[in-house]
Structure 1
Amino acid sequence: METITLNTGIELPIVGTGTNTYGKENNDYQGKINGDTTELDQAISLGYRHIDTAISYRNESVIGDAVKKSKLPREEFFLTSKIPGRPEYIETTEAVHQAVADSLNALKTDYIDLYLIHHPWDNNEEIFTVWRILEEYVDKGVLKAIGVSNFNQEQLGFILERARIKPAVNQIQSNTSEWNHAIIEYCQEHGVVPEAWGPLSRIDASCRQALTEIGQRYGKTWAQVILRYQIQRGVAVIPKSHNPERQQLNIELFDFSLTEEEMTTIGHLKNKEQNN
């Protein structure tokens, strides 16, 4: 697995697994937590070590169970979780401390590799207050790196201009529905690693066909092509699948390279079936 170096010096595996429907009845985001670690057991056995979760997913404990069940050393894993921007988690210093403590407890670990503010809200000063508390956990070694998710240029810039510890990652949607090219470029210009959530989601038939045609040149699927596009331009990805064959394909990205022309073509793909 290739890695990308965060501005903290930490190595982030450039491909991880999303988990927002893992350990839930019917693989439904809103489903009841059933504690099933099957998908993660599969992913870990295939070589995934970068695992992305969040308080809002309600399944941090499932990730913690799978990591423990693997019997692999904790340091082999790169665990990401996220604190929501909802009042019950961020309106007081005590609430933030409790959120971090609860994440540690659920993940059954004494440190988290990357902790993100899951969504911005309409008060940059409040966001920065939360950020300063998270910086204290970096000082203690409890959070190895901190970052943000779904932040636009203005919101990220507000933190970059004031933070003692700069955001290491900005996790954003990036696919043919919304590439977010501008914020990705802004992140990279400022030493923040962009990470794509939903890299295989919201891709219509016309885009899949174009990606399939490129993939045929390399014996790769459309999904492998779009993931390769992202990592080749320095964007980490966290695809998610419940299927072990697809999980395997999603990490078989390092035995081919796209041409500059192919990269340009992919970067200009746009869904034709989007609803206005």
Structure 2
Amino acid sequence: MTSNKTWFITGAGRGFGRIWAQAALERGDRVALTLRNPAQAADLVERFPDTALALKLDVTNRAEVFAAVATAHDHFGRLDVIVNNAGFGQMGAIEEVDEDSIRANFETNVFGTLSVIQAALPLLRAQGAGHIINLSSVAGIVAVPTAGIYEGAKFAVEGISEALAAEVAQFGVRVSIVEPSGYATEFLSAGSIGSAPAMTEYDALREELAASLGEGDLGDPAASAPAILALVDAEKPPLRLMLGNLLPFVKDVYAQRIATWEAWDHVALAAHGNTGSEA
């Protein structure tokens, strides 16, 4: 399974969404690029007039999501790859972030993703095939201080996607969760990350975290395109695909979790209340 696929990509105006859309178009695929400002994709539509379609979409508007999915399907005749890429970060300790900012982050990262899935699934089921790719992050695997709201949203995407994969496999629909490490995309810009007013009580923690993370080794966003093409072309795509050098870190985190579970297993077993001594 290689090219001639039809994609529907949210957040396609910049970052991963733009890079993956361009890579798909350059190899001959068809792409519905959805974004808040379609003018950001005007150059791609001009380069690929027969295979690129730019649609205005705010994923927090559920009616708009269903209309965009239907328009893209009507335009191309089918949809093969659904990429839920739209999202933004939120920095701040849990105590610092106000309710409106919390809800806004979940509206885009979680409910926007859900709306796209629910709009596309009937079409994918009807054609007996399709691949839903949901963008998570290393923040959907491991939580660190002062990013808990964004991490909570990405943990939600992970759980939703895992359940979804088991539900829709029977229809020939596959689901993959993409978990990037840190990349030098526009995601790091002010327009892509909300920041809560800082409380001095958490300043020392922020400084400690910054010192432990250092400058970081940000990945090249362009290098991610071949990985995504390989994912959508795989006969048996994985449920999870990490992008970047995350495996050693994640293995260490999970080893620590298993060690804790094992150390407390006697308490867990006692909490079950059944000694197993009954005949």
* TM-score bucket (shorter structure): 0.3 to 0.5
TM-score norm. by structure 1 comes to 0.36
Bigger radius of gyration: 2
Q: Comparing both structures, which one devotes a greater share of its residues to helix?
A: 2
TM-score norm. by structure 2 comes to 0.36
